[in-house]
Amino acid sequence: MMQNFYKKALFALILLLVADALVACVCVYQSYPSAALMPSGAAGLYWRTVTKTDVDEGGTSTIHVIESGQRSLRFDFRLTRAATYSFVSADMLFEDGDGHAVPVDLSRFDTITFTAKCTPMNALIFALPTFDATVSKPGDYLTYPSPLTFFSCNEQGTPVSLDLTRLTIPQWWYDKMHLDLSHQSYELNQVAKFVFGVSQQSPRDRDSRVEISHVTLHGRDYRYLVALAVILVSSWCAFAVWFFRAHARELAASLDVKLRKDLPLVAYRQLTLEPFKDKEKAAVLRFIATNYTNPDLDLDSVVAGTGANRNKVNEVLKAELGMTFTAYLKKLRLTESARLLTEAPAVTVAEVAYSVGYANVSYFNKLFKEEYGCTPKVFKTMASTAPQEQHDS
pLDDT for the residue 275: 52
pLDDT for the residue 182: 77
How high does pLDDT run on average in the chain?
A: 86
pLDDT tens figures, 326-335: 888 888 888 8
Q: 390 or 348: whose pLDDT is higher?
A: 348
Strand-pair category, 46-53 with 88-95:
antiparallel
| CA 42/CA 70 separation, integer angstroms | 10
pLDDT tens figures, 8-55: 889 999 999 999 999 999 999 999 999 999 998 888 899 999 999 999
What count of Cα atoms within 13 Å lies in the side-chain half-sphere of residue 69? 11
pLDDT tens figures, 115-131: 999 999 999 999 999 99
Contacts 24+ apart (CB under 8 A), 72-76: 72/38, 72/211, 72/212, 72/213, 73/38, 73/49, 73/196, 73/211, 73/212, 73/213, 73/215, 74/209, 74/210, 74/211, 74/212, 75/51, 75/209, 75/210, 76/207, 76/208, 76/209
pLDDT tens figures, 78-118: 999 999 889 999 999 999 988 899 999 999 999 999 999 99
pLDDT tens figures, 256-275: 666 555 554 554 444 444 45
| CA 270/CA 272 separation, integer angstroms | 5
Give backbone dihedrals phi and psi of 186, rounded to 5 degrees, phi first: -150, 160
State the pTM of this model.
Answer: 0.63
pLDDT level of residue 385 (50, 70, 90 thresholds): low
pLDDT for the residue 272: 40
pLDDT tens figures, 24-36: 999 999 999 999 9
Give backbone dihedrals phi and psi of 179, rounded to 5 degrees, phi first: -115, 160
pLDDT for the residue 391: 46
In this prediction, what percent of the chain has a pLDDT beyond 90? 49
Residue 225 reports pLDDT greater than 60: yes
pLDDT for the residue 278: 65
pLDDT for the residue 259: 57
Rounded mean pLDDT, 208-235: 94
| CA 51/CA 78 separation, integer angstroms | 13
Residue 196 reports pLDDT greater than 50: yes
Rounded mean pLDDT, 276-299: 79
Rounded mean pLDDT, 326-346: 84
Give backbone dihedrals phi and psi of 162, rounded to 5 degrees, phi first: -125, 140
* Strands in the chain per DSSP E: 34-36, 46-53, 62-67, 72-78, 88-95, 109-119, 122-127, 148-153, 158-163, 193-198, 207-219
Q: What share of the chain is helix, strand, coil (3-state, %, to 5)?
A: 45, 20, 35
Q: Which residues, 6+ apart, have CB-to-CB distance to 286 below 8 Å? A: 270, 271
